Amino acid sequence: MTSSLNDDFQAQRSRERESLRGTVSTLFADEPRAVLELGCGHGHFLTSLATAHPAALHVGVDKLPSRIARGQRKVERAQLNRLHFIHADILDFLELVPRTVYWSAIYVLFPDPWPKRRHHKHRWLQPHTLAALASQAAPGAHLYFKTDVKAFYLDVIKLLELQGDWALVDDAEWPDGPRTIFEGYANESYSLIAQLRK
């Protein structure tokens, strides 16, 4: 029984990955450059950004289908044909996106902090994901990060310094845009901007 369930799970995962591969191949077929938000939630922030910059391709990724559905409704209401929300695991997305695609900016806003030390391994923001983002970041691209957990913020600073592809920037400006849904729940927030070194 356990083996059968595991086989079913693996088959489902395989189908999901193949579907995602097709989605990203089609999306980026004619456009090699995009603004990326990982863990886009309901799409509130990215929709505002895409409205302000309609010529740029904007892509939001989230693993919860209900959030993607709400984001898609925003796309339809605003008639933004350069804004796309993708239901996917972030690590799968980063693995399957074509290597020809470059990120002009990357937003990571209020990801799950997994605050207990024994759970830190579940954070998707790790050295290998920072390296993957750097490998497809456009020259001079910025990485924007925000959280309401100070310890997580300090951990990400250390992570950036140790990983090495990104340099913290003190004088860069945070783009105009609304607060995210999660930011509205927070009493305070901590943010940083890093720039691709190479």
- Please list the active-site residues: 112
Joined together, the tokens standing for residue 148 give: 């309401």
Beta strands in the chain (DSSP E): 33-38, 58-62, 83-87, 102-109, 137-147, 166-168, 190-196
- 104 with 156: CB under 8 angstroms? no
The 137-147 sheet, strands edge to edge: 83-87, 58-62, 33-38, 102-109, 137-147, 190-196, 166-168
Type of residue numbered 144: Y
Joined together, the tokens standing for residue 25 give: 């191949």
